[in-house]
């Protein structure tokens, strides 16, 4: 994806835009309507931060916002992790 825009799948929506800071920055949105308990929201945020850290180069200089579309939990984390990895890799092309 060149320039700015968004990509989505059934688990996440990822918005991205180039920045002038010289490093990649991440924002995570885990809404209370989608994930009613704080435990589930915190779990989703930790998962997103970990996948971003491992799969997105810091020197890529993008602002990325990831919004969860479904509830993530320990039983669905593998599928959610793979879905987010695919979105982040597609954005780097």
Per residue in 41-52, pLDDT (tens digit) is 999 999 999 999
The CATH number of whichever domain residue 35 belongs to comes to 3.30.230.10
**Half-sphere exposure (CA, 13 Å, Cβ side) for 76?**
14
- Is pLDDT larger for residue 56 or for residue 93? 56
pLDDT over 90 at 8, yes or no: yes
pLDDT tens figures, 56-88: 887 888 999 999 999 988 899 999 999 999 999
For 31, the domain range is 5-91
Mean pLDDT of 25-50: 95
- In the chain, the N- to C-terminal Cα span, in Å, equals 6
Q: For residue 88, how many other CB atoms are within 10 A of its CB?
A: 21
Query: How many domains in the chain?
Result: 1
Q: Which value, in Å, is the radius of gyration of the alpha carbons in the chain?
A: 13
For residue 27, which phi and psi values (nearest 5 degrees)?
Answer: -125, 140
Q: Please provide the average confidence, as pLDDT, over all residues in the chain.
A: 90
**pLDDT for the residue numbered 58:** 76
Residue 3: its pLDDT value, please? 57
């Amino acid at each position: 994806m060149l320039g700015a825009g968004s990509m989505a799948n059934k688990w996440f929506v990822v918005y991205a835009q180039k920045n002038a800071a010289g490093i990649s920055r991440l924002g995570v949105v885990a809404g209370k309507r989608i994930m009613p308990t704080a435990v589930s929201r915190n779990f989703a945020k930790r998962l997103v931060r970990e996948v971003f850290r491992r799969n997105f180069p810091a020197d890529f200089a993008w602002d990325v916002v990831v919004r969860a579309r479904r509830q993530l939990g320990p039983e669905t984390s593998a599928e959610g992790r793979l879905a987010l990895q695919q979105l982040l890799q597609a954005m780097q092309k």
